[in-house]
Structure 1
Amino acid sequence: MPCRTNLKDLNKVSPKIFCSTLSGIFEHSPWIAKRVISKRPFNSVESLYKNMLNQVMQSDTKTKMNLIHAHPELTNQTQTQKRLTQESRDEQETANLMSLTDKEASEFHQLNKDYKRRFGFPFIIAVKGFEKPHNKLSILITLRKRIQKSYPDEYHEALRQIARIAEIRLKELVKE
């Protein structure tokens, strides 16, 4: 996660610095920060978050799908080297997903493949921000359960997880 900042300063910086500072909140989706610049000043981090989330929820289905597809596949080591953001890398390390046994890696690979085949997008889960953060086992259990759900349910769950990830990242980055 980039250096922390405070809301007062974030409200005053140039649009370029504002977007750069918030670029990792929603995975590979700087358009969200760009769309809320004109709404400054924000009176709270929660207000900033709600404005960013509103941009996502008010966007069309294609844009939402692009946001979902911007998220990396969990534990994909090849992808890790190519396009995993520092925020995602930190989150996956928190859950010990960067140090899987061969058996665990194989199971994650197969479940991720099955999930993507079924739904057409990667499995997304917020691993931090809970009393007890997710770990390898809890993520596997959740993945096994969610792969059984319907497309509409899982599409909405993916968006909920993205919203949760963004909320956690924003609260870690920006202080009141």
Structure 2
Amino acid sequence: MKIPIATLNQLDQAAFVRLLGGVYEHSPWMAERCYAQQPFAERAALLQAMREVLAAATEAEQLALIRAHPDLAGKAALRGELTAESTQEQAGAGLAQLTPAEFARFTELNTAYTTRFGFPFIMAVKNASKDQILAGFEQRITHTPTAEFAMALEQINRIAAFRIDDLIE
């Protein structure tokens, strides 16, 4: 059930962090830092505040946030270790129903990508197909590390936007 932005603005910090702590994967510090920027006039203002918190974070914090994300169709998914949000997003993209050949390709690309960049491939997979995700992998693995770091942060912000849309009216 979505809550109105006015209700969000009335939450104490602990409740605010409980509600929004999973918007950025395993990184409740994002919600903690965003809390002080209340009140938010609308959902877009909340998302902008979260984007600003991420932009102001240190490079080490940004890297830790990127690394907090699971591989797409990876071992964590097989073991049932994904967050509820990631499970739903990956399943919606068809990643829970891969053929053995598709799973092998995702595994190969996950390994190559992580070896090249030092962090997992991040893509907002909501409303994407497994073929679009594979095409993204294949295109982005040719990026420079600096460009891909920036792309990972942008994709994380897109994921956050989807998650905020699911939580806030």
- Tell me, yes or no, whether TM beats 0.5: yes
1:70 to 68, 71, 92: 68
Q: What's the CA shift for 1:83? A: 3.5
1:141 aligns with 2:130: no
Offset of residue 82 of structure 1: 5.3
Paired with 1:52 and 1:137, the residues of 2 have a C-alpha distance of: 30
- In structure 1, give the amino acid aligned to 2:168: V
User: 1:93 Cα shift?
Assistant: 0.7
SS in 1 for 2:97: coil
1:111 paired residue number = 109
- Superposition TM-score, scaled by structure 2 size: 0.96
Q: How do residues 75-114 of structure 1 correspond to structure 2 at under 5 angstroms?
A: 75-76=73-74, 78-80=75-77, 81=79, 83-114=81-112
User: 5+ unaligned residues in a row in structure 2: which ranges?
Assistant: none
Consecutive aligned runs of 4 or more in structure 1 exceeding 3 Å deviation: none
Partner of 2:146: 152
Could you tell me how far apart the structure 1 residues matched to 2:80 and 2:166 are?
25
Q: Identity over the aligned pairs, expressed in percent?
A: 37
Instruction: Measure, in 2, the Cα distance between the counterparts of 1:5 and 1:89.
Output: 22
The amino acid that maps onto 2:76 is Q
SS, match of residue 113 in structure 2: helix
1:23-49 CA-to-partner distances (Å, cap 9, x unmatched) read 221000000111121221111111111
Report how many aligned residue pairs link the two structures.
168
Superposition RMSD in Å: 1.1
CA distance in 1, matches of 2:10, 2:3: 12
Counterpart-to-counterpart distance in 2, 1:83 and 1:29: 16
1:43-68 deviation digits (Å, cap 9, x = unpaired)? 11111111111111011100000010
Q: Distance in 2 between matches of 1:65 and 1:116?
A: 13
Q: What TM-score, normalized by structure 1, do the two folds share?
A: 0.92
